[in-house]
Amino acid sequence: MRISVIVPAYNEEAVLGRCLEALARQSRPAEEIIVVDNNSVDRTAEVAEAFGAYGVRVVREVRQGAVHARNRGFDEAGGDVLGRIDADTMVGPEWVAQLAEAFAADPRTGVRPDAVTGPSWFYDIPLRRAGLAAHRFFCHRLNRLLSGHAMLWGSNMALSRGCWSAVRGHTCAEPGMWEDLDLAVHLNRLGLRVRYVDRLRVPVSARRIGASVRDLYSYLRAWPHTYRLHGQRRAAWGAAVFLLVGLVLLRPCSLLVRAHTPYDGTLSLSRLFRRSSTVSRPLP
């Protein structure tokens, strides 16, 4: 089973190096790692090219947006399994091996999944177990409850090549939606099987949570909007309600993220009162 890993990247020089270092240290190496440079104006491509000896290659996608970068990477990949993470994901050394295991046939039914996904925790904030529990609930369990089908998490997922071939022409590219949720909706409509693997866990950055209320709302409103675009009105209403609840619950977390210094675990008031756009969240 050949495994390709796709990493869409836009201005990610601060975090991409450690992401690729983690992929280079796998107990079961991926056959190829593709970084899709989506019009970066920093050193993203240069950082990625430095890992050429580890099977990393850079492709460029000029159409702006995560969905275009993801699609380009999946189209370029030659593996039987197409893994997908974000540039601020830092996988553990067994992640690729766990992907291979996850795509094995179920011993009870003999059926292989078409896609797999797992949860995440946040490596650059305290209360990591709480973050994992919250991610399990809001990303996976709640979306399954609202929509009636499994969710995919873009920072930690993989599709079989056959699955991608089947769903490729159905994916949407409208702005302001979550591309991983869109993909999950279409997999469900095509009757393709998504396997949630709880032990397939990856740490990701909490930098988005540390944004301003305005920026956080701008990101989260894509949740009900994506359901609405696909005609899932009940799921859209439910997501809208939980979005408002989430904004209230996330506000103290957002302040904690902004004040937290990932390098030494201390809290910094100077970070708390900076403009959110200037608060860099590099890997510790």
- The pLDDT of residue 247 is 75
- The pLDDT of residue 111 is 86
- The pLDDT of residue 120 is 94
**At a CB cut-off of 8 Å and minimum separation 6, what does 190 contact?**
166, 167, 170
pLDDT in tens, 10-29: 999 999 999 999 999 999 99
Q: Are 201 and 131 in contact (CB under 8 A)?
A: no
- The pLDDT of residue 283 is 35
Confidence of residue 255 (pLDDT cuts 50, 70, 90): low
Say whether pLDDT at 260 is over 60.
no
pLDDT in tens, 149-198: 999 999 999 999 999 999 999 999 988 899 999 999 999 999 999 999 99
Domains and CATH numbers, the chain: 3-206 (3.90.550.10), 207-277 (no CATH)
Strand partners, 240: none
Q: In the predicted model, what is the mean pLDDT of residues 219-239?
A: 95
Backbone angles phi, psi at 260, to 5 degrees: -75, 135
**At a CB cut-off of 8 Å and minimum separation 6, what does 198 contact?**
118, 119, 136
Q: What is the pTM of this model?
A: 0.87
Say whether pLDDT at 100 is over 80.
yes
- The pLDDT of residue 45 is 96
Higher pLDDT, 126 or 205: 205
Strand partners, 196: 117
Tell me the C-alpha distance between 205 and 15, whole Å.
9
